[in-house]
């Protein structure tokens, strides 16, 4: 397929999406769903505003902490269960069962333990991200050819050296897939947390806008988050493909 | 039971026992977490009282509606997209991104459009679950052997007959992956939606109990949802295993 044809298809798809949006706007009415054009002009006003910056900064801070925790804990569990066969066999079904649970039901528990501030959001986001990171890391480490480990033992590497110089480089492409999915679900966790109970952050901004019937603001913030997640995912996917090709 | 299964059970029981002990001894404040035995007795009392039957029926009913719609619509859309390669190429980046963006942030928009009714919950549920089914259908149809579609053409089967009697069974193992994901997403989306804003339902009940500091009720309801979700997931997993066994057994 040529690049121009691909560009044409994407353009057609974008036009179809805008058309559906416009039709939905006609059906739902001005107060429920604003039209595409006014939303875009609202976006231009909202993005440079101090109010948006404060909320975006709150979400960004909570998300970075949550992501760091999810990666550190997820990688630790994944390396441990991948390298230690018995722990992996015992723990994997437990992790899989936890992964498919609707974690939102546990949010009140998280709030009772960590409180309503940023730590609650961080803990809830991290809870989402830990499991995919751990599961994919474990799978990646199990798939490493045993001869690598035998080489590490022959060279008398310490456990830490074995992890950093043999296990992680060999498992990197798969591990990175886990990190990408972890990124996505951690973001979702933080936003869900903000939507349910928070005074600051983009998730609570959407809920406030809904309660005040400010549909332009609601749709605008949702679109900003949508675009951010899509672009971040595209970048992570690009890195992931490069890692897989190199491996 | 295998040795590993035994160890797993022991680990889980030890964790529950540790929690029980920590709660009973006062190490964990009962305003934060109540003892597991108390959660179970609170749940038993709640279920026998019948106070939440209507909400249970409502929430599980909504989840079932979402599952049925997502599977049916996903399969039909998958068939249609598979038949139109150019549309599929155009949609590919959309599918690759879909689960990377928090679709759920559009739930408030749906409430603004449809009002506070079951409608926005069903729509956000189907929107979350249906794409997994579409992707699974496309994957499954890609793997239907060419010879089968040729047989269908030789027998001059109609589009519908081909889809139902031939493509559906041939792609079934892949479709089942979609079904499992759709069920899982339906649970998550419906409960999350009820939790954040809804006139009724189990998610709303949990949120209310949290706001009222009614920990016995809250933990009973959380335990109930976790048990239901675990049973459903375990049942799907067991079905998957038996089915895979039968398929490989039939071939040998």
Q: Would you state the pLDDT for residue B5?
A: 84
Closest CA to B130 of B86, B170, B81: B81
Q: Would you state the pLDDT for residue B252?
A: 41
Query: Is residue A40 predicted with pLDDT exceeding 70?
Result: yes
Say which CATH superfamily domain B53-251 falls into. MetI-like (1.10.3720.10)
B96 touches chain A (CB under 8 A): yes
Could A207 and B196 be called an inter-chain contact, meaning their C-beta atoms sit closer than 8 Å?
Answer: yes
- Same domain (yes/no): A153, A232: yes
Query: Is residue A130 predicted with pLDDT exceeding 90?
Result: yes
A210 touches chain B (CB under 8 A): yes
- Same domain (yes/no): A103, A16: no
Per-residue pLDDT averaged across A194-199, rounded?
81
B109 touches chain A (CB under 8 A): yes
Q: What is the pLDDT of residues B22-39, one digit of tens each?
A: 988 888 887 888 889 989
- Same domain (yes/no): A87, A16: no
B84 phi and psi angles, rounded to 5 deg? -120, 85
Percent of chain A whose predicted confidence (pLDDT) is above 70: 99
Closest-CA residue of A relative to B205 is A105
A247 touches chain B (CB under 8 A): no
Could A196 and B226 be called an inter-chain contact, meaning their C-beta atoms sit closer than 8 Å?
Answer: no
Alpha carbon of B188: minimum distance to chain A alpha carbons (Å)? 5
DSSP string, A183-218: HHHHHHHHHHHHHHS-SSSHHHHHHHHHHTT-HHHH
DSSP string, B66-131: HHHHHHHHHHHHHHHHHH-HHHHHHHHHHHHHHTTS-GGGGHHHHHHHH-SSHHHHHHHHHHHHHH
Closest CA to A195 of B227, B32, B203, B34: B203
- Same domain (yes/no): A127, A199: yes
Query: Is residue A1 predicted with pLDDT exceeding 70?
Result: no
Report the number of distinct structural domains present in chain A.
Answer: 2
Which residues in B lie closer than 8 A to residue A108 (C-beta atoms)?
Answer: 206-207, 209-210, 218, 222
- Same domain (yes/no): A39, A88: yes
- Picking from B11, B230, B234, the nearest residue to A90 by CB comes out as B11
Q: How far apart are CA A100 and CA B229, in angstroms?
A: 8
Closest CA to A218 of A48, A54, A61, A38: A38
Per-residue pLDDT averaged across A40-50, rounded?
88
- Same domain (yes/no): A239, A117: yes
Q: How far apart are CA B113 and CA B138, in angstroms?
A: 31
Q: What is the pLDDT of residues B127-176, one digit of tens each?
A: 999 999 999 999 998 888 888 888 888 888 888 888 888 888 888 888 89
Alpha carbon of B161: minimum distance to chain A alpha carbons (Å)? 31
pTM of the predicted protein model: 0.85
Could A196 and B234 be called an inter-chain contact, meaning their C-beta atoms sit closer than 8 Å?
Answer: no
Query: Is residue A228 predicted with pLDDT exceeding 50?
Result: yes
- Picking from A192, A206, A229, the nearest residue to B101 by CB comes out as A229
Per-residue pLDDT averaged across B78-103, rounded?
85
- Same domain (yes/no): A110, A149: yes
Q: In this structure, how many other beta carbons lie within 10 angstroms of the beta carbon of residue A174? A: 22
Closest-CA residue of B relative to A85 is B4
- Same domain (yes/no): A8, A93: no
- Same domain (yes/no): A29, A133: no
A17 touches chain B (CB under 8 A): no
Could B225 and A206 be called an inter-chain contact, meaning their C-beta atoms sit closer than 8 Å?
Answer: no
Chain B, residues 28-47, CB within 8 A of chain A, namely 31-33
Which residues in A lie closer than 8 A to residue B187 (C-beta atoms)?
Answer: 102
Q: Would you state the pLDDT for residue A60?
A: 94
Percent of chain B whose predicted confidence (pLDDT) is above 90: 38
The total number of residues shown for chain A amounts to 247
Query: Is residue B40 predicted with pLDDT exceeding 70?
Result: yes
Per-residue pLDDT averaged across A120-144, rounded?
92
CA distances A127 to A109, A175, A186, B34, B204, Å, are 12, 18, 8, 21, 21
Domain boundaries, chain B: 53-251
Q: Would you state the pLDDT for residue A65?
A: 96
Could A210 and B111 be called an inter-chain contact, meaning their C-beta atoms sit closer than 8 Å?
Answer: yes
Q: Would you state the pLDDT for residue B250?
A: 53
Which residues in B lie closer than 8 A to residue A105 (C-beta atoms)?
Answer: 191, 195, 203, 206, 222, 225-226
Q: What is the CATH number of the domain that holds A74?
A: 1.10.3720.10
Average pLDDT taken over every residue of chain B = 88
Could A32 and B31 be called an inter-chain contact, meaning their C-beta atoms sit closer than 8 Å?
Answer: no
Residue B133, Cα to own-chain centre: how many angstroms? 12
Per-residue pLDDT averaged across A206-231, rounded?
87
Q: Would you state the pLDDT for residue B249?
A: 65
- Same domain (yes/no): A171, A228: yes
Closest-CA residue of A relative to B235 is A97
Q: What is the ipTM of this complex?
A: 0.80
Chains A, B: CB contacts within 8 A come to: 142
Domain hosting residue A24, numbered range = 1-33
- Same domain (yes/no): A199, A229: yes
Which residues in A lie closer than 8 A to residue B102 (C-beta atoms)?
Answer: 187-188, 191, 225-226, 229
Which residues in B lie closer than 8 A to residue A10 (C-beta atoms)?
Answer: 90, 93
- Same domain (yes/no): A104, A44: yes
């Amino acid at each position: 397929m040529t690049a121009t044809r691909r560009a044409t298809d994407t353009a057609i798809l974008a036009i179809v999406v805008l058309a559906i949006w416009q039709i939905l706007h006609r059906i739902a009415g001005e107060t429920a769903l604003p039209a595409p054009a006014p939303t875009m002009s609202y976006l231009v006003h909202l993005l440079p505003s101090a109010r948006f910056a404060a909320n975006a900064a709150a979400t960004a801070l909570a998300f970075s902490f949550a992501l760091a925790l999810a990666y550190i804990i997820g990688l630790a569990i994944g390396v441990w269960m991948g390298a230690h066969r018995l722990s992996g066999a015992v723990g994997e079904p437990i992790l899989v069962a936890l992964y498919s649970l609707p974690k939102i039901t546990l949010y009140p528990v998280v709030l009772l333990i960590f409180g309503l501030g940023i730590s609650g959001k961080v803990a809830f986001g991290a809870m989402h991200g830990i499991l995919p990171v751990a599961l994919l890391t474990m799978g990646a480490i199990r798939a490493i050819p045993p001869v690598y480990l035998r080489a590490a033992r022959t060279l008398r590497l310490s456990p830490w050296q074995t992890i950093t110089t043999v296990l992680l480089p060999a498992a990197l492409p798969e591990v990175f897939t886990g990190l990408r999915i972890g990124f996505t679900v951690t973001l979702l966790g933080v936003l869900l947390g903000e939507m349910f109970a928070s005074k600051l952050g983009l998730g609570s901004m959407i809920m406030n806008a809904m309660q005040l019937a400010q549909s332009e603001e609601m749709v605008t913030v949702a679109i900003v988050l949508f675009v951010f997640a899509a672009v971040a995912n595209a970048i992570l996917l690009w890195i992931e493909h490069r890692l897989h090709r190199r491996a | 039971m295998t040795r590993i299964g035994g160890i797993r059970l022991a680990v889980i029981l030890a964790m529950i026992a540790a929690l029980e002990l920590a709660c009973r001894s006062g190490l964990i404040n009962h305003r934060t977490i109540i003892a597991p035995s108390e959660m179970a007795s609170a749940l038993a009392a709640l279920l026998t009282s019948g106070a939440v039957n209507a909400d249970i029926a409502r929430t599980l009913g909504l989840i079932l509606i979402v599952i049925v719609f997502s599977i049916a619509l996903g399969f039909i859309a998958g068939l249609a997209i598979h038949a139109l390669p150019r549309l599929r190429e155009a949609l590919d980046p959309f599918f690759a991104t879909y689960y990377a963006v928090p679709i759920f942030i559009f739930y408030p928009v749906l409430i603004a459009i449809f009002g506070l009714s079951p409608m926005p919950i069903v729509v956000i549920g189907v929107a979350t679950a249906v794409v997994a089914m579409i992707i699974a259908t496309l994957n499954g149809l890609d793997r239907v052997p060419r010879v089968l579609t040729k047989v269908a053409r030789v027998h001059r089967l109609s589009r519908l007959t081909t889809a139902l009697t031939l493509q559906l069974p041939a792609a079934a193992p892949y479709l089942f992956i979609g079904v499992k994901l759709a069920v899982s997403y339906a649970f998550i989306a419906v409960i999350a939606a009820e939790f954040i804003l809804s006139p009724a339902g189990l998610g709303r009940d949990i949120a209310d109990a949290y706001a009222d500091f009614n920990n016995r009720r809250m933990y009973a309801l959380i335990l109930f949802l976790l048990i239901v979700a675990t049973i459903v997931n375990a049942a799907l997993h067991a079905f998957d295993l038996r089915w895979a066994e039968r398929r490989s057994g039939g071939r040998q």
